[in-house]
Amino acid sequence: MKEIAYDNGFINRWELERYDAKWINKIGPLAKAFFDANPERLTDDDIEEICAGEQGEVDETYGNLHGFKELLESLNDYFNNH
């Protein structure tokens, strides 16, 4: 959420860093499931790429990993409805 928020200007000098419990409760369990299944991907670089990377490259790199589709759908929902 943080990477998406910063990348898209949701957080700036006028909008402070804060997160709605609705999104935390939606994205958190899916992120946990993804990173529990793919612990080698729990790096700052991977998190940034998943949240703010080029869609085609993200799909190619992570698309076949367990739990990615569900995580990506929730992140896209956050991006589109924040």
Q: What integer pLDDT is reported at residue 81 of this predicted model?
A: 83
Residue 44 in tokens: 């700052």
> Average pLDDT per run of 10 along the chain, which is 82 residues long?
61 61 90 98 95 92 98 90 76
Show Cβ contacts of residue 40 under 8 Å, excluding neighbours closer than 6 positions. Answer: none
Instruction: Specify the pLDDT at position 61.
Output: 97
- Which pLDDT score is estimated for 63? 97
- Amino acid making up residue 24: I
Question: How many CA atoms, within 13 angstroms, populate the side-chain half-sphere of residue 19?
Answer: 16
| Cα distances (Å, whole numbers) of residue 4 to 9, 37, 47, 53 | 8, 22, 10, 10
Report d(CA 42, CA 54) in Å as an integer. 19
